[in-house]
Homo-oligomer: A and B are copies of this chain.
């Protein structure tokens, strides 16, 4: 026997429900929201309430799906990066053509798969918070950084063994290939809004060109503009 009449101002619409049960969709939505906010504000500065708001749920609901804030962080990293690397690895394994083209593919693929995806925030988050989460930092270094670098240096080394590339220390070259890519994604999530940027497209293309200028044996300039000259 409620003193209040049950006839509220019901709008006869789904949207008058205060909330819906959507058990399956929640985790992904939470990870998406957290990933975006972590990228914008950093891990420490992101409030659980912010994540909840961005995911369209209450704060309590977060804890139905993740045991704490750090767990969300781990899940984001573990669930979303490994598949990407698997894909690149199979690309490297399947390759039979020129290593220069493969390298170009890897750089462009990294760009599309990381820099232009929701993953682009991760390098910034990890580097920013490594000091506060040593276990995550170690995990990430081992399973993402080192693994990526090995993929690149395998290709570079293969190119050198085939006489396609000049002789250098392959791992150092791999670092030099990766650094501008990572730097660009960190940039995207930090100071880029304050900089009148020219174009990332040209940056990426020139990076490829410069690297291959130095790596390729004296074969002259055919590498410009598209430049696929397999025979």
Contacts and interface: CB of A to CB of B under 8 A. Distances in A.
Interface residues of A, number: 58
Interface in A156-178: 168-169, 171-173, 175-176
Contacts of A210: 176, 210-211, 213-214
B137 A194 contact: yes
As for how many copies of this chain the complex holds, the number is 2
B191 A137 contact: yes
Interface in A99-151: 124, 126-132, 134, 137-138, 140-142, 145-146
A79 interface: no
B138 A194 contact: yes
B179 A142 contact: no
Contacts of A191: 126-127, 130, 137, 140-141, 145
Interface string A175-203: 11001101110110111011100110011
Interface of A: 39-42, 44-45, 124, 126-132, 134, 137-138, 140-142, 145-146, 168-169, 171-173, 175-176, 179-180, 182-184, 186-187, 189-191, 193-195, 198-199, 202-203, 206-207, 209-211, 213-214, 220-222, 224-225
